[in-house]
Structure 1
Amino acid sequence: MDTLEYVVIGVYFAVLISIGLVFRTFNANVGDYFKGGARGTWWLVGVSSFVAGISAYTFTGAAGAVYEAGWSILVIYVGNALGYLVNYLYFAARFRQLRRTAGPEVLRDRFGRMTEQFYAWISFPSGIIGSAMLLYSLAIFISSVFRLNMQLLIVTVGAVMIFYSVIGGRWAIMATDFVQCLIMMGLTLLVGGLCLIKTGGFSGLFELIEQQGLNSDYSIINSPERFNGAYTWFWAGAMLLNCTLTANNLGAAGRYFSVKDGKEAKKAALLSMVLMLAGCIIWFLPPIVGRLFYADQVTAMTQLSNPQESAFAVACMNLLPPGMIGLMAVAMFAASISSLDVGINGCSSVFVMNVYPVAKALFRLRERSEESLLRMGKLFSFFFGFLCIGAALLFSLKKELSLFDLMLTVTALLGTPMAVPLLWGMMIRRCPRWAAMSSIGCGFLVSGIAFFSPELFGVRWPFQWQIVGVWLAGTAGFLGSMLWAGGNAPEYDRQVEEFFATMNRPVDFEKEVGKANDLKQLKLLGIFSLVIGALVALLALAARDRFGVVCPLVLAAFMLLCGGVMVRAGRTKREAEAEKVSSVPCIADKLMER
């Protein structure tokens, strides 16, 4: 890694720190810190939700799977887009209208204290493990690009991520997400274009795949014998089902807590869907080009547990000019911040909003002020961040398991059993308060059998069997509990009716939240986009040839255009609001004249 790459990373980190410091001023209380005070605009929340759904894993673990199996992995991201579409059509507005700060609060409203506490406590290990996998995937990318020690990278990058998550809370994370999305989409569009130039367009790409005998491997649907049962019709159906349903249950409601109201939540979901579809078209061209042109370089990444997971990085190193490699690495770093919020700020919010109130009542602890709770939230963000780093270090030492397989295994064993009752809980009113626990118990029973299937049956259950088995068992556990719904206490039935009434009642933003800060969001993020665009343009000064001039200027133009549009839109909106305010006295004067 040359001096220019270090300069790019250093300057970029300085800009990101500035974003965190500026948006730190948005935090006045716990609600601001954990959910942006429910003042986030639809475009800011939509982009943040989109970025949270990709992270560096998309360019490492998923890219490694694309390197081996080609287009089959698109099923996952089409499934994510389908999940956002269902959000838009039905769930997004209702998620926002739950009017809560942390996910387990919603479960208390729906099922009661026992279910709330179960999900609160189990969210700690699941959130930390999920975030650790994302941190590990980020370390894979950076270590493969710069050939640095992976464990040292995990500690260093993890420490920086803790800083980001703690300093500015949800506002800083959403703002950073937005800027990083512009950088990431611009860079991946650029790299995707360079890939097509390298292959001679899509027609040339398909010809090269055929020439190298990869048509069979790169089919969207494969035979069960080729990849140990993966990438079949059954696998694709199970993946689409899982992606769609896990995005549309009470556990996913938190992604819309920050938006202003239900209408804006729908817009945010639609934006996330469009970005996901646009991204999945271009994200997986680089690993395929890595297989076609740079396979020897990929297999030479022996410092990685699974060299194929460096395919995206290898393609970038060969296609991008000097200076922009560092920019891609930093963009991947920032892309992971939003996902890490689940393990750091997310776990911290659960502790402050769900665990601490119970402990306070149980041990008769003193009442804390908003400022004190905010300090507690930051303290536990530090704590959970360090646990996340430790878990990522353990993953990096487990050589025999690929990142892609690890992500799918954790999803099937932990995520899916907990998601099943949270879907049915939104659709079915008449059930006992322990319905969710019944469903989880049945789901965990099947996932446990699947985990130990090699010892029990001599063969490991494929991912699709695990997913379908858990969904069926969890559904049976939930629906079966309805037989005892007649014994519900009257107060619980009233609680459920109140839950659904709240969920279906539109948010009156001015009465419930207060004054919006849309203009401030537009102005600040527009200015930061312009600044970063100008800094990217400076890379052209260090270019060694015409290609090195054109690439940074293309990306800079994209950033400057987006920033300029935002600043202009903010100015236009401010002028319109000023004109609206000034017209009020005129109307009053006319009434007085009458």
Structure 2
Amino acid sequence: MNFNTAVVVGYFVLIGIINFSFRRMASKSSTDYFRGGGRMLWWMVGSSAFMIQFSAWTFTGAAGEAFRNGFPAVYVFIGNVLAFLLAWAFFAKKFRQMRVDTPTEAVRRRFGESSELFFTWAIIPLSIIQGGVWLNSLSVFFSAVMGIKLGTTLWITGLAVLSFSMIGGAWGVAASDFVQSMVVAVMSIACAAVALFKVGGVGEIVHRFPGNFFYGPDTQSPMLLTGLFLFLVVKQILTINNMKDSYRFLGAKDSFDAKKGALFAFLLMLAGAMIWMIPPWASAILFPDAGIAHSAQLGKKASDAVYLVFAERAMPLGTVGLLMAGLFSATMAAADGALNHNAGIFVRSFYQPVIRRGKQVSDREALVAGKIVNATNGLLIILTAQFYSQLNQMSLFDLMMRVSTLAQVPILVPLFLGALIRKVPDWASWATVVFGLVVSYFVSNVVTAHEIAGYFHIALSASELSAANTVLAIAAHVFLTGGFFCLTMLFYREPEQTRREQLDSFYHDFAREVVSDASQSEFDRLQRHKLGRITLMMGAGLFAMLAIPNPLWGRLLFLCCALAILVLGALMCRSANPVAVPGKELQSQSS
């Protein structure tokens, strides 16, 4: 067993401990399993929201794009930064105040039962498609490191992600997200610092990058990249601040912690956007062959493994194992949207009202049904990822952009605008999605960027054409799909009394703060205590990596990382002072 494999095995053991540690908290009720009972502290909420948006694609598809085209690869992450800032200012608090367990329950309150059923069967397939992209990104990396065929790696990593997600539910995933966000942070900082040292600083990256660092080597139109930046910011704002993805904040213990969680995610994303792409940029200078180094294992997708090449050639032994551990956690966080959250959506919005015909369902039955759906979704994600692995002509970056702009944005538009605009008919939500899918078809098959460029006799390179397709798709949905939703205001009529009372109740809750109850202090103590001890274990593992035969600078690097994690773990344990709450049992927060 080599050092990297040993690091990954140690990581799996730790994740298993985390999920079993939180298993009891996740099995108290279905609301505990699906959203942590609405009891999570802000740093768990924020780190989980950050890791969901981070995903393994950052170190694979986005890194490959940074290696090829320079600074434009950061546009998506700048969009995430601004989106989390907007969540802190408005949406995070409002989403927590919807007082639901799943996003489709919020859709029912806002747009009625028909829309709930429609979005149930729109969100679940979309989450499976996205989960396939994330799992494929992870498997590309694992396949290159382990030397195993990509198809085999998909099943190994997919079943591992599924197992861990099922054991600990939302609690286990959020806890592992927090621990691994620290590992990703220290690892990213270490890689960026080494990259800057070896290449000679930021100025050398800009000066020596092949082609134009700010526009890419074959980009002739800066205006096109400006448009790409602006519309990617809009897309990421839609992606993070909509009712479908409100689950990021539903688990917060109260409105204030939801808001603080969004701020924490903003700070993590801001720091990450500054440092994640430094190693791929440096690799374009230091290791020009990085894009083909793993072509034997990955074929035409070898350029998506440039971060791995940097870790192999420039970092101490064991770093690749840490990188693999971070990627696995990021994928588990992202895939949770297609596992636990899909299970919650299915149980709350289809199993109970349709299959069980509205009859009261026990928590045990809901939990069993949720885990069955969880397992089914996991298998579908693996099969979807296997299909993506055969798309040899499309990079992971382009694949992610295609899925997110053509399939995802039509669903996001009404669920973003619906939180802001009240006087639209209930059917506006699903009608906008249908209209948006028609728009997606036209911009991808009829009025494409290639056709428009040909009409105006404009020659576009491959990277420019990819950017133009993304700009066209997002712009079409912003102006056409968004415009369609706004035009439905012309057809708004005051609803009948029962529906009006439902809407009044929703907006009353939407504006009313959630305040944690008296028993919350014990939940807070448990979270700090459990995660503090687990963080100390993580720090001890990093400290043990000093035994790996690295040069002195490599051992000092691991020592600094270990000390940072150990100090944080000690502070968390120290803050977990028992608070006696007589007569209170640990129950899920109903609000």
Q: Do both share a fold (TM > 0.5)? A: yes
Q: Does 1:146 align with 2:146?
A: yes
Contact (CA 8 Å) 1:145, 1:317: kept in 2 or not?
A: no
Task: Indicate the residue corresponding to 1:338 in structure 2.
Answer: 333
Distance in 1, matches of 2:254 and 2:494, equals 36
Matches within 5 A, 1:81-480: 81-209=81-209, 212=210, 214=211, 216=212, 218-219=213-214, 221=215, 226=219, 232-302=225-295, 303-304=297-298, 305-362=300-357, 367-453=360-446, 458=451, 462-480=469-487
Aligned residue type for 1:509: S
Aligned residue type for 1:46: G
Distance in 2, matches of 1:367 and 1:487, equals 32
- The Cα offsets for residues 90-148 of structure 1, whole Å up to 9 and x where unpaired, read as 11111000010111110100110111111101112100010110000011122223332
The residue matched to 2:244 in structure 1 has which SS?
helix
Task: Indicate the residue corresponding to 1:561 in structure 2.
Answer: 567
The residue matched to 2:517 in structure 1 has which SS?
helix
Aligned residue type for 2:179: V
How has the CA–CA distance of structure 1 residues 548 and 515 changed in structure 2, closer, same or farther, with 3 Å as cutoff? closer
How has the CA–CA distance of structure 1 residues 228 and 393 changed in structure 2, closer, same or farther, with 3 Å as cutoff? farther
Distance in 2, matches of 1:442 and 1:43, equals 39
Contact (CA 8 Å) 2:68, 2:216: kept in 1 or not?
A: no
Task: Indicate the residue corresponding to 2:461 in structure 1.
Answer: none
Q: CA deviation at 1:367?
A: 4.5
Task: Indicate the residue corresponding to 1:536 in structure 2.
Answer: 542
Q: CA deviation at 1:516?
A: 4.5
- The Cα offsets for residues 355-412 of structure 1, whole Å up to 9 and x where unpaired, read as 11232355x8x64311121111111111110110010011111111111111111111
Distance in 2, matches of 1:166 and 1:227, equals 49
Structure 1 window deviating more from structure 2 (227-236 vs 490-499): it is 227-236
Q: CA deviation at 1:329?
A: 1.0
Distance in 1, matches of 2:271 and 2:448, equals 43
Task: Indicate the residue corresponding to 2:458 in structure 1.
Answer: none
Distance in 2, matches of 1:48 and 1:230, equals 35
Aligned residue type for 1:340: A
Aligned residue type for 1:35: R
Q: CA deviation at 1:151?
A: 1.0
Contact (CA 8 Å) 1:180, 1:334: kept in 2 or not?
A: yes
The root-mean-square deviation of aligned C-alpha atoms, in Å, is 2.2
Contact (CA 8 Å) 2:76, 2:236: kept in 1 or not?
A: yes
Q: CA deviation at 1:228?
A: 9.1
Task: Indicate the residue corresponding to 1:505 in structure 2.
Answer: 512
Distance in 2, matches of 1:540 and 1:249, equals 45
Contact (CA 8 Å) 2:239, 2:412: kept in 1 or not?
A: yes
| The one of 518, 521, 525 aligned to 2:524 | 518
Distance in 2, matches of 1:160 and 1:487, equals 50
How has the CA–CA distance of structure 1 residues 348 and 222 changed in structure 2, closer, same or farther, with 3 Å as cutoff? same
Distance in 2, matches of 1:451 and 1:412, equals 10
Contact (CA 8 Å) 2:80, 2:236: kept in 1 or not?
A: yes
Distance in 1, matches of 2:309 and 2:449, equals 41
Q: Does 1:3 align with 2:6?
A: no
Matches within 5 A, 1:4-83: 4-27=3-26, 28-83=28-83
Contact (CA 8 Å) 2:71, 2:216: kept in 1 or not?
A: no
Aligned residue type for 1:354: S
Distance in 1, matches of 2:535 and 2:474, equals 41
Q: CA deviation at 1:567?
A: 1.6
Q: CA deviation at 1:457?
A: 7.6
Aligned residue type for 1:292: I
Distance in 2, matches of 1:45 and 1:447, equals 33
The two structures have a TM-score, normalised by structure 1, of 0.91
Q: Percent identity?
A: 28
The residue matched to 1:397 in structure 2 has which SS?
coil
Task: Indicate the residue corresponding to 1:590 in structure 2.
Answer: none
Q: CA deviation at 1:502?
A: 1.0
Distance in 2, matches of 1:188 and 1:77, equals 15
Structure 1 window deviating more from structure 2 (453-462 vs 273-282): it is 453-462
Query: How many pairs were matched up?
Result: 565
Task: Indicate the residue corresponding to 1:570 in structure 2.
Answer: 576
Q: CA deviation at 1:492?
A: 2.5
Structure 1 window deviating more from structure 2 (196-205 vs 280-289): it is 196-205
Contact (CA 8 Å) 1:417, 1:471: kept in 2 or not?
A: no
Contact (CA 8 Å) 2:56, 2:137: kept in 1 or not?
A: yes
**Structure 2: unaligned runs, 5 residues or longer:** 453-464, 583-591
The two structures have a TM-score, normalised by structure 2, of 0.91
Distance in 2, matches of 1:254 and 1:43, equals 15
- The Cα offsets for residues 230-276 of structure 1, whole Å up to 9 and x where unpaired, read as 96111111111111133222222111110011111110000000000
